[in-house]
Chains A and B, each alone.
Chain A
Amino acid sequence: DTAVSQTPKYLVTQMGNDKSIKCEQNLGHDTMYWYKQDSKKFLKIMFSYNNKELIINETVPNRFSPKSPDKAHLNLHINSLELGDSAVYFCASSQQNYGYTFGSGTRLTVV
Protein backbone atom coordinates (compact mmCIF):
# COMPACT_ATOMS: atom_id res chain seq x y z
CA ASP A 1 0.00 0.00 0.00
CA THR A 2 1.20 3.51 -0.76
CA ALA A 3 1.28 5.47 2.44
CA VAL A 4 3.11 7.37 5.11
CA SER A 5 3.94 5.00 7.93
CA GLN A 6 5.31 5.98 11.30
CA THR A 7 6.41 3.90 14.27
CA PRO A 8 5.73 3.40 17.03
CA LYS A 9 2.03 4.19 17.32
CA TYR A 10 2.25 4.59 21.09
CA LEU A 11 5.26 5.56 23.17
CA VAL A 12 5.26 5.84 26.96
CA THR A 13 8.51 6.90 28.57
CA GLN A 14 9.94 8.59 31.62
CA MET A 15 11.13 12.17 31.88
CA GLY A 16 14.74 12.59 30.90
CA ASN A 17 14.82 9.70 28.46
CA ASP A 18 15.80 9.94 24.79
CA LYS A 19 13.44 8.49 22.18
CA SER A 20 13.01 8.33 18.41
CA ILE A 21 10.01 8.19 16.11
CA LYS A 22 10.48 6.86 12.59
CA CYS A 23 8.65 7.85 9.44
CA GLU A 24 8.75 6.43 5.94
CA GLN A 25 6.80 7.30 2.79
CA ASN A 26 6.60 5.32 -0.41
CA LEU A 27 4.71 7.95 -2.39
CA GLY A 28 7.78 9.39 -4.10
CA HIS A 29 7.13 12.78 -2.51
CA ASP A 30 10.00 15.26 -2.25
CA THR A 31 8.97 16.96 1.00
CA MET A 32 8.39 15.52 4.45
CA TYR A 33 7.16 17.15 7.64
CA TRP A 34 6.72 16.66 11.36
CA TYR A 35 3.66 18.16 13.03
CA LYS A 36 2.76 18.24 16.72
CA GLN A 37 -0.84 17.98 17.92
CA ASP A 38 -1.36 19.16 21.49
CA SER A 39 -4.02 18.13 23.97
CA LYS A 40 -6.45 20.71 22.52
CA LYS A 41 -6.03 19.15 19.05
CA PHE A 42 -4.08 22.15 17.74
CA LEU A 43 -1.67 21.17 14.96
CA LYS A 44 1.59 23.00 14.44
CA ILE A 45 4.45 22.31 12.08
CA MET A 46 7.81 21.50 13.61
CA PHE A 47 10.11 20.67 10.71
CA SER A 48 10.11 20.26 6.96
CA TYR A 49 12.67 18.55 4.75
CA ASN A 50 12.91 18.69 0.99
CA ASN A 51 15.11 16.05 -0.62
CA LYS A 52 16.97 15.49 2.65
CA GLU A 53 17.54 19.21 3.26
CA LEU A 54 16.01 21.07 6.19
CA ILE A 55 13.82 23.89 4.91
CA ILE A 56 11.57 24.71 7.86
CA ASN A 57 12.49 24.71 11.55
CA GLU A 58 9.75 26.34 13.58
CA THR A 59 11.09 27.52 16.96
CA VAL A 60 11.36 23.99 18.25
CA PRO A 61 13.63 23.30 21.25
CA ASN A 62 16.97 21.90 20.15
CA ARG A 63 16.19 18.74 22.14
CA PHE A 64 14.24 17.81 18.99
CA SER A 65 16.46 16.75 16.12
CA PRO A 66 15.08 15.54 12.81
CA LYS A 67 17.17 13.30 10.59
CA SER A 68 16.52 12.49 6.95
CA PRO A 69 18.80 9.72 5.63
CA ASP A 70 17.04 9.84 2.26
CA LYS A 71 13.99 11.54 0.81
CA ALA A 72 11.72 8.66 1.80
CA HIS A 73 12.58 8.80 5.50
CA LEU A 74 12.32 11.48 8.16
CA ASN A 75 12.97 10.45 11.74
CA LEU A 76 12.49 12.53 14.87
CA HIS A 77 14.82 12.16 17.82
CA ILE A 78 13.96 13.76 21.14
CA ASN A 79 16.51 14.16 23.93
CA SER A 80 15.81 14.69 27.62
CA LEU A 81 12.06 14.27 27.33
CA GLU A 82 9.86 16.60 29.37
CA LEU A 83 6.25 16.30 30.50
CA GLY A 84 5.28 19.04 28.04
CA ASP A 85 6.47 16.93 25.14
CA SER A 86 3.45 14.68 25.60
CA ALA A 87 1.42 15.00 22.40
CA VAL A 88 0.56 13.25 19.18
CA TYR A 89 3.25 13.62 16.53
CA PHE A 90 2.29 13.32 12.88
CA CYS A 91 4.58 12.74 9.95
CA ALA A 92 3.43 13.91 6.51
CA SER A 93 4.71 14.14 2.98
CA SER A 94 3.78 16.27 0.00
CA GLN A 95 4.56 16.94 -3.60
CA GLN A 96 4.52 20.48 -5.00
CA ASN A 97 2.37 21.77 -2.14
CA TYR A 98 -0.76 20.10 -3.45
CA GLY A 99 -0.91 16.59 -2.09
CA TYR A 100 -0.30 16.14 1.60
CA THR A 101 -0.52 12.67 3.10
CA PHE A 102 -0.35 12.13 6.83
CA GLY A 103 0.77 9.17 8.87
CA SER A 104 -1.50 7.77 11.55
CA GLY A 105 0.35 9.51 14.36
CA THR A 106 2.52 8.59 17.35
CA ARG A 107 1.01 9.25 20.76
CA LEU A 108 3.89 10.15 23.07
CA THR A 109 3.24 10.14 26.81
CA VAL A 110 5.97 11.32 29.14
CA VAL A 111 5.52 10.30 32.77
Chain B
Amino acid sequence: GDSVTQMEGPVTLSEEAFLTINCTYTATGYPSLFWYVQYPGEGLQLLLKATKADDKGSNKGFEATYRKETTSFHLEKGSVQVSDSAVYFCALSDPSQGGKLIFGQGTELSVKP
Protein backbone atom coordinates (compact mmCIF):
# COMPACT_ATOMS: atom_id res chain seq x y z
CA GLY B 1 0.00 0.00 0.00
CA ASP B 2 0.88 3.66 -0.10
CA SER B 3 3.41 4.91 2.44
CA VAL B 4 5.47 7.95 3.42
CA THR B 5 8.94 7.89 4.96
CA GLN B 6 10.51 10.91 6.64
CA MET B 7 13.97 11.44 8.03
CA GLU B 8 14.14 10.66 11.69
CA GLY B 9 14.35 13.38 14.28
CA PRO B 10 14.82 15.17 16.41
CA VAL B 11 16.58 17.79 14.32
CA THR B 12 18.30 20.57 16.26
CA LEU B 13 19.43 23.72 14.47
CA SER B 14 20.67 27.15 15.38
CA GLU B 15 18.62 30.16 14.40
CA GLU B 16 19.16 31.24 10.77
CA ALA B 17 20.45 27.79 9.75
CA PHE B 18 19.28 26.05 6.58
CA LEU B 19 16.66 23.35 7.03
CA THR B 20 16.02 20.23 4.99
CA ILE B 21 13.63 17.49 6.08
CA ASN B 22 13.64 14.57 3.67
CA CYS B 23 10.43 12.87 2.62
CA THR B 24 9.94 10.03 0.16
CA TYR B 25 6.76 8.22 -0.77
CA THR B 26 5.36 5.15 -2.49
CA ALA B 27 1.98 5.31 -4.16
CA THR B 28 0.00 3.25 -6.65
CA GLY B 29 -1.82 6.22 -8.15
CA TYR B 30 -1.13 9.91 -8.62
CA PRO B 31 -1.12 11.39 -5.13
CA SER B 32 -1.21 14.92 -3.86
CA LEU B 33 1.57 15.68 -1.37
CA PHE B 34 1.42 17.78 1.76
CA TRP B 35 3.49 19.11 4.63
CA TYR B 36 1.69 19.66 7.91
CA VAL B 37 3.09 21.32 11.02
CA GLN B 38 2.11 20.65 14.63
CA TYR B 39 3.21 23.21 17.20
CA PRO B 40 3.48 22.03 20.82
CA GLY B 41 0.08 21.26 22.30
CA GLU B 42 -1.77 22.19 19.12
CA GLY B 43 -3.46 20.51 16.19
CA LEU B 44 -2.24 20.06 12.64
CA GLN B 45 -1.90 22.98 10.27
CA LEU B 46 -1.38 22.70 6.56
CA LEU B 47 1.99 24.22 5.71
CA LEU B 48 2.08 23.64 1.95
CA LYS B 49 0.95 21.25 -0.74
CA ALA B 50 1.60 20.14 -4.32
CA THR B 51 -0.89 18.28 -6.46
CA LYS B 52 1.17 17.13 -9.44
CA ALA B 53 4.71 16.40 -10.53
CA ASP B 54 7.11 19.37 -10.60
CA ASP B 55 4.72 21.57 -8.63
CA LYS B 56 6.38 23.61 -5.91
CA GLY B 57 4.47 24.36 -2.73
CA SER B 58 5.58 27.31 -0.62
CA ASN B 59 4.44 29.12 2.50
CA LYS B 60 6.08 31.16 5.29
CA GLY B 61 9.53 30.70 3.72
CA PHE B 62 9.15 26.90 3.47
CA GLU B 63 9.29 25.18 0.09
CA ALA B 64 8.91 21.66 -1.27
CA THR B 65 8.94 20.38 -4.86
CA TYR B 66 7.00 17.31 -6.00
CA ARG B 67 9.64 15.09 -7.65
CA LYS B 68 8.02 12.13 -9.33
CA GLU B 69 11.30 10.71 -10.66
CA THR B 70 12.73 10.39 -7.15
CA THR B 71 9.33 10.04 -5.40
CA SER B 72 10.34 12.78 -3.01
CA PHE B 73 8.89 15.94 -1.46
CA HIS B 74 11.68 17.36 0.68
CA LEU B 75 10.91 20.37 2.89
CA GLU B 76 13.39 23.27 2.89
CA LYS B 77 13.74 26.65 4.52
CA GLY B 78 16.64 28.99 4.03
CA SER B 79 16.76 30.50 7.51
CA VAL B 80 14.90 28.96 10.43
CA GLN B 81 13.61 30.84 13.45
CA VAL B 82 12.98 29.74 17.02
CA SER B 83 9.27 29.99 16.26
CA ASP B 84 9.64 27.21 13.64
CA SER B 85 10.22 24.66 16.41
CA ALA B 86 7.50 22.07 15.90
CA VAL B 87 6.82 18.59 14.52
CA TYR B 88 6.61 18.41 10.73
CA PHE B 89 4.62 15.73 8.93
CA CYS B 90 4.87 14.77 5.29
CA ALA B 91 1.67 13.23 3.93
CA LEU B 92 0.07 12.01 0.74
CA SER B 93 -3.49 11.65 -0.46
CA ASP B 94 -4.13 9.12 -3.18
CA PRO B 95 -7.59 9.22 -4.78
CA SER B 96 -7.25 5.52 -5.62
CA GLN B 97 -7.02 4.85 -1.85
CA GLY B 98 -10.19 6.69 -0.92
CA GLY B 99 -8.59 10.07 -0.42
CA LYS B 100 -7.34 9.46 3.09
CA LEU B 101 -4.19 11.22 4.25
CA ILE B 102 -1.27 8.88 4.88
CA PHE B 103 1.35 10.43 7.13
CA GLY B 104 5.04 9.96 7.63
CA GLN B 105 6.22 9.42 11.19
CA GLY B 106 6.88 13.11 11.81
CA THR B 107 10.16 14.98 12.33
CA GLU B 108 10.63 17.08 15.43
CA LEU B 109 12.53 20.32 14.79
CA SER B 110 14.09 22.31 17.61
CA VAL B 111 15.62 25.70 16.78
CA LYS B 112 17.95 27.23 19.36
CA PRO B 113 18.64 30.98 19.59
Contact = CB atoms under 8 A, between A and B. Distances in A.
Chain B interface size, as a band, is: 20 to 34
A98 B48 CA distance: 11
17 contacts: A41-B105, A42-B103, A42-B105, A42-B106, A43-B44, A43-B103, A43-B106, A48-B98, A48-B99, A55-B98, A56-B98, A92-B101, A97-B93, A97-B99, A100-B34, A102-B44, A103-B43
Pick the 7 closest A-B CB pairs, nearest first.
A104-B43, A97-B99, A102-B44, A43-B103, A41-B106, A45-B100, A105-B43
Interface in A71-111: 90, 92, 94, 97-98, 100-105
B89 interface: yes
B32 A98 contact: yes
B50 to A, nearest CB: 11
A25 interface: no
B69 interface: no
B51 interface: yes
B46 interface: yes
A84 B95 CA distance: 31
| Interface secondary structure of A, over-half rule | strand
A74 B8 CA distance: 33
B105 A98 contact: no
Contacts of A103: 43
B4 to A, nearest CB: 10
Interface in A18-56: 31, 33, 35, 40-45, 48, 55-56
A97 B45 CA distance: 16
A16 B76 CA distance: 46
Contacts of A45: 100-102
Most chain B C-beta atoms within 10 Å of own C-beta, residue among A33, A35, A43, A94: A43
Nearest to B103: A43
Contacts of B45: 102
